[in-house]
């Protein structure tokens, strides 16, 4: 044996040594030894008592079942005899004085007897079903056979039997009664008590004797009602056999019955009806054995009716004896059951008292150990599950770096090992609180570091953007201006990354807008912070606006979703940003792409993180956009959820609650078609846990069909060509409208409701419109990438308000024809100014001249080729000091530059301006 094996054996022996037992083991051993002995003894006694009680219960139940079976057998016998009586009367109806009345009365009595049998039959079937193997194998087998017989009788009880098949009647009833009595005999043998067994056997003998007497009644009644009134040899043999068996059962009853039952039996046999029955049987056998007809004897008229009546009275006299013996069986079984129950209760009480005495002795010894252990366990669980997490939560929420005071210790003041464990646990608790305070301090430091780094980066980025803006204002070359726009866009993306760090640190922006921002402008501003924004198609409702305090965060949220859609989809596909109103005032914004998509498990996990943003950890750095979206959505009560696309890709659904949706047009204005009330403020939406709206199989809202509107009666006059209209369309960006057709709405995906002129979302042609927007603004603006950085400046400088241009009091030249909305001066947007009218006039008078395109696909500008008439002094004028470029001038340049870019793209690609119609936003 090796040294390691010897060491292992010594360790095992030491482990089982009594001095090395743990406290719970010692307490268990202390209580287990005496308790185990008591439980073994008690178990034996209780098991015996339970078995005896169950056996007595079965005996009592068997006695009750047997009583109902006896009643059923006797009633079946009576039904058999009455059936034979009715059949016999029908055979001799010619000799009856009033055959119709007599037969009808007997049939009525037979039907009443069948009703009595039916009631007993239903009760007996239920009883037989309760008999199982616990009553004995033979009893269970007889019960199955009896149940089959009873069900056959129940099914065929109402059927009429053949009138001349008397033997078949006896056979059917006789077999059923014999089966019932066999089960009755087996039920009397299940008891172990001699008195119960003897009384049950006496009952069985008496039941068989009564059955034989009933058979004799039926046979002799049939013979008396036959015209020849003589026994056939078979009938006589059957009658004599039944009489002999009756005598045998009577002898068996005398042997098993007690004195009282024996005396009652012979008193019942002494009634006049019983004596008449015996005399009639002797007379019938004497005549039948000589093959003589059954004729009346001298001095007495023997008829079938008198025989049936006397036999019935004799059987009823035995019923009292039968009931007396049955009561003895039930009484004895009940007494045995009660005695066994009392015995079981006494034994159980003594055993319980013994166990309690043993437990009381051991508890007094173990109490001094158990109570401190319980107190230590309870307070340890309270500290670990309630107090310590509460302290950590308070430190996280309050951001307190100092350790909170917690002087509550475990209330175990004993000097034994249990008290020492309590003191050690107190020390562990204090160390845990101290570590939680240090963790809170570390978290605050990390958040502060994020804020400081982000603020520094933001400051540099803001300065960079300011410098780029200055360069853009003074730049005249189109190529360099496009590069400056790209640089401005890249700086805007850098600023968003810095803002992500602020969101990670839980910092909220200090500056917030006070005025609501249109949702379409919010989406456009978010695109200025996304790489690949030129692939995004905007189809956003114009009537919705976001509350000012949430506008910047919504820009950030949408930018993260759009960037994810652009990054994980092919470069030759489009990312669609669309919106739809929800009943109750909410707005649903969807960002759809046809990229690689995600598995259902990944979508479920991301949706869970969006609903419950996790704590900042290392995983956040890998999916910072997901965390930022979740934090921003949680801050403003926005619901964000990802769903798989119809074919491929993902759909990011953003549900803005009604509280965040503002009304940008709150004041009714007078138009050329009458005064129109302001757009109603959306009602508050019900706070629910999911999007409540009709959805398709992909989870998106069901598109509601809108009825087509009749075209206007007057064809609108063709509008002059514009370099860039107030709604973003140019002369190259949209096809001319056919005469007589209403203006087409923007393209909307099938997953969302269509926002057309006929959907009720916007006024139709010829109807009142809502100011301050003109009809041209109600149409979808095509979004171009060149406006992204300018729109982002609208959100960066909310304190700068554009100049307000008062509406024209009189219509300008060229008032449109009926059916065309009047031209109104739109409000100044992020890139429009009052100088647009001059540029439109210049564009209408002279087509801009293009100087070719650059290798990048941008139009090559020809200096001074597209000057607006009157905007530049003559060459002979002396140069003057150029005033500072105003924002309106920058906007004018952007408008002209937009026209050139779009026209250059169209010429370079060799396609018409109609191809860009699918990029406009849905109106």
Question: What does the pLDDT look like over 120-171, one tens digit per residue?
Answer: 888 988 888 888 888 888 888 888 888 888 888 887 665 554 444 444 444 4
Q: Is the pLDDT of residue 654 over 90?
A: yes
Write out the H or E segment, with its range, that includes residue 36.
helix 23-91
Tens digits of residue pLDDT in 82-131? 888 887 777 776 666 777 887 888 888 888 888 888 888 889 888 888 88
Distance in angstroms (rounded) separating the CA atoms of residues 757 and 754? 9
For 84, 161, 170, 217, 294, the CA distances from 226, given in Å and listed in that order, are 11, 19, 17, 15, 10
CB-count burial class (<10 Å; 0-12, 13-18, 19+) for 40 = exposed
State the pLDDT at residue 687. 35
Q: Is the pLDDT of residue 31 over 70?
A: yes
Beta strands of 359-489 (E only): which ranges?
Answer: none
Strand partners, 920: 782
Q: What is the mean pLDDT of residues 849-856?
A: 50
State the pLDDT at residue 424. 85
Distance in angstroms (rounded) separating the CA atoms of residues 390 and 381? 13
State the pLDDT at residue 589. 94
Predicted confidence band at 912 (pLDDT cuts at 50, 70, 90)? very low
State the pLDDT at residue 881. 52
Name the DSSP letter for residue 299. T
Distance in angstroms (rounded) separating the CA atoms of residues 607 and 643? 9
| C-alpha radius of gyration, the chain, whole number | 54
| Nearest residue to 475 (alpha-carbon basis) of 893, 141, 97, 18 | 893
Distance in angstroms (rounded) separating the CA atoms of residues 81 and 102? 16
| Nearest residue to 699 (alpha-carbon basis) of 588, 568, 596 | 588
Predicted confidence band at 905 (pLDDT cuts at 50, 70, 90)? low
Neighbouring C-beta atoms of residue 483, cutoff 10 Å: 14
Predicted confidence band at 653 (pLDDT cuts at 50, 70, 90)? very high
Cis-peptide, bond into residue 566, ω within 30° of zero = no
Distance in angstroms (rounded) separating the CA atoms of residues 188 and 203? 9
Q: Is the pLDDT of residue 464 over 50?
A: yes
State the pLDDT at residue 715. 37
Distance in angstroms (rounded) separating the CA atoms of residues 475 and 368? 92
Q: Is the pLDDT of residue 731 over 80?
A: no
Tens digits of residue pLDDT in 783-806? 444 444 434 443 444 444 444 444
Predicted confidence band at 862 (pLDDT cuts at 50, 70, 90)? low
pLDDT above 90: percentage of residues in the chain:
6
Q: Is the pLDDT of residue 320 over 80?
A: yes
State the pLDDT at residue 704. 41
State the pLDDT at residue 727. 34
State the pLDDT at residue 833. 42
Q: Is the pLDDT of residue 448 over 60?
A: yes
Predicted confidence band at 656 (pLDDT cuts at 50, 70, 90)? very high
Q: Which two tokens stand for residue 210?
A: 């009564």
Q: What is the mean pLDDT of residues 42-66?
A: 84
Main-chain dihedrals φ then ψ at residue 167, nearest 5 degrees: -65, -40
Query: Taking the alpha carbons of 477, 483, 487, 492 in that order, is the dihedral positive or negative?
Result: positive
pLDDT above 70: percentage of residues in the chain:
63
Cβ atoms 412, 418 nearer than 8 A: yes
Q: CB under 8 Å to 252, separation ≥6 — which residues? A: 201, 202, 205
Q: Is the pLDDT of residue 782 over 80?
A: no
State the pLDDT at residue 907. 64
Residue 18 or 698, more confident: 18
Q: Which residue has the tokens 């005896």?
A: 52
Q: Which two tokens stand for residue 915?
A: 């191809």
Cα 51 to its chain centre, rounded Å, is: 48
State the pLDDT at residue 53. 84
Indicate the domain borders of the chain.
47-350, 401-507
| Nearest residue to 729 (alpha-carbon basis) of 681, 767, 784, 689 | 784
Distance in angstroms (rounded) separating the CA atoms of residues 674 and 666? 17
> 522-547 burial string, b = 16+ CB within 10 Å, else e?
bbbbbbbbbebbebbbbbbbbbbbbb
Q: Is the pLDDT of residue 548 over 60?
A: yes
State the pLDDT at residue 279. 86
Length of the chain: 923
């Amino acid at each position: 044996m090796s040294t390691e094996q010897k060491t292992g054996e010594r360790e095992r022996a030491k482990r089982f040594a009594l001095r090395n037992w743990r406290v719970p083991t010692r307490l268990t051993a202390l209580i287990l030894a005496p308790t185990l002995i008591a439980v073994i003894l008690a178990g034996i006694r209780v098991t015996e008592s339970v078995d005896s009680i169950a056996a007595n219960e079965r005996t009592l139940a068997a006695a009750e079942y047997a009583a109902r079976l006896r009643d059923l057998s006797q009633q079946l016998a009576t039904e058999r005899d009455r059936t034979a009586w009715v059949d016999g009367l029908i055979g001799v109806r010619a000799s009856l004085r009033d055959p119709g009345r007599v037969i009808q009365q007997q049939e009525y009595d037979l039907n009443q007897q069948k009703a009595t049998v039916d009631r007993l039959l239903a009760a007996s079937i239920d009883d037989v079903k309760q008999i199982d193997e616990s009553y004995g194998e033979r009893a269970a087998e007889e019960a199955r056979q009896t149940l089959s017989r009873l069900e056959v009788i129940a099914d065929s009880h109402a059927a009429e039997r053949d009138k001349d098949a008397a033997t078949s009647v006896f056979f059917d009833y006789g077999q059923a009664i014999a089966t019932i009595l066999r089960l009755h005999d087996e039920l009397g043998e299940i008891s172990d008590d001699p008195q119960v067994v003897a009384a049950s056997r006496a009952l069985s003998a008496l039941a068989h004797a009564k059955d034989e007497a009933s058979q004799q009644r039926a046979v002799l009644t049939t013979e008396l009602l036959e015209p020849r009134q003589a026994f056939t040899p078979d009938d006589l043999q059957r009658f004599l056999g039944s009489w002999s068996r009756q005598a045998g059962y009577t002898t068996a009853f005398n042997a098993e019955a007690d004195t009282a039952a024996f005396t009652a039996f012979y008193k019942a046999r002494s009634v006049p009806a019983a004596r008449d029955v015996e005399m009639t049987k002797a007379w019938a056998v004497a005549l039948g054995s000589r093959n003589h007809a059954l004729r009346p004897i001298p001095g007495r008229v023997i008829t079938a009716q008198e025989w049936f009546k006397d036999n019935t009275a004799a059987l009823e006299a035995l019923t009292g004896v039968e009931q007396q013996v049955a009561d003895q069986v039930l009484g004895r079984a009940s007494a045995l059951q009660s005695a066994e129950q009392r015995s079981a209760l006494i034994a159980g009480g003594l055993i319980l008292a013994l166990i309690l005495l043993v437990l009381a002795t051991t508890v007094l010894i173990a109490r001094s150990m158990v109570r401190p252990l319980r107190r230590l366990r309870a307070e340890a669980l309270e500290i670990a599950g309630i107090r310590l997490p509460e302290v950590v939560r308070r430190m996280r929420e309050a951001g307190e770096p100092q350790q909170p005071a917690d002087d509550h210790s475990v209330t175990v003041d004993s000097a034994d090992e249990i008290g020492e464990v309590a003191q050690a646990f107190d020390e562990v608790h204090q160390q845990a609180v101290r570590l939680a305070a240090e963790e809170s301090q570390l978290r605050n430091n990390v958040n502060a570091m994020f804020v400081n780094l982000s603020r520094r980066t933001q400051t540099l980025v803001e300065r960079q953007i300011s410098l780029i803006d200055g360069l853009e204002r003074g730049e005249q070359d189109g190529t360099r201006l496009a590069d400056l726009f790209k640089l401005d866009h890249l700086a805007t993306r850098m600023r968003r990354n810095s803002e992500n760090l602020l969101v990670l640190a839980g910092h909220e922006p200090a500056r917030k807008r006070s005025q609501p921002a249109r949702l379409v402008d919010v989406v456009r501003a978010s695109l200025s912070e996304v790489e690949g924004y030129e692939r995004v198609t905007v189809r956003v409702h114009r009537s919705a606006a976001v509350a000012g305090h949430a506008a910047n965060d919504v820009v950030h949220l949408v930018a993260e979703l759009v960037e994810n859609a652009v990054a994980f989809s092919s470069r030759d596909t489009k990312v669609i940003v669309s919106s739809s109103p929800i009943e109750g005032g909410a707005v649903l914004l969807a960002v759809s792409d046809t990229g690689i998509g995600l598995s259902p498990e990944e979508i479920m996990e991301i949706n869970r993180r969006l609903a419950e943003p996790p704590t900042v950890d290392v995983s956040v750095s890998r999916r910072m956009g997901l965390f930022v979206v979740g934090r921003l959505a949680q801050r403003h009560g926005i619901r964000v959820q990802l769903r798989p696309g119809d074919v491929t890709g993902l759909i990011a659904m953003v549900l803005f609650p009604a509280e965040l949706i503002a009304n940008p047009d709150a004041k009714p204005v007078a138009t050329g078609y009458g005064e129109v009330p302001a757009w109603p403020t959306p009602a508050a939406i019900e706070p629910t846990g999911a999007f409540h709206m009709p959805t398709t199989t992909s989870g998106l809202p069901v598109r509601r069909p809108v009825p087509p509107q009749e075209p206007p009666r007057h064809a609108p006059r063709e509008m002059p060509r514009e370099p860039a209209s107030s709604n973003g369309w140019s002369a190259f960006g949209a096809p001319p409208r056919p005469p007589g057709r209403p203006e087409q709405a923007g393209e909307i995906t099938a997953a969302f409701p269509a926002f057309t002129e006929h959907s009720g979302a916007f006024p139709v042609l010829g109807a009142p419109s809502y100011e301050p927007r003109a009809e041209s603004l109600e149409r979808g603006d095509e979004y171009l990438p060149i406006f992204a950085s300018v729109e982002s400046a609208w959100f960066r400088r909310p304190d700068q308000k554009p100049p307000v241009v008062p509406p024209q009091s009189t219509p300008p030249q060229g008032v449109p024809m009926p059916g065309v909305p009047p031209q109104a001066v739109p409000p100044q947007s992020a890139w429009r100014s009052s100088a647009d009218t001059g540029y439109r006039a210049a564009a209408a008078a002279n087509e801009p001249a293009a100087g070719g395109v650059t290798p990048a696909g941008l139009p090559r500008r020809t200096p001074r080729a597209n000057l607006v008439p009157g905007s530049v002094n003559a060459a002979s004028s002396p140069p003057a000091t150029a005033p500072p470029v105003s924002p309106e001038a920058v906007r004018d340049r952007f408008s002209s530059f937009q026209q050139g870019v779009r026209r250059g793209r169209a010429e370079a690609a060799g396609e018409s301006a109609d191809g860009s119609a699918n990029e406009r936003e849905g109106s």
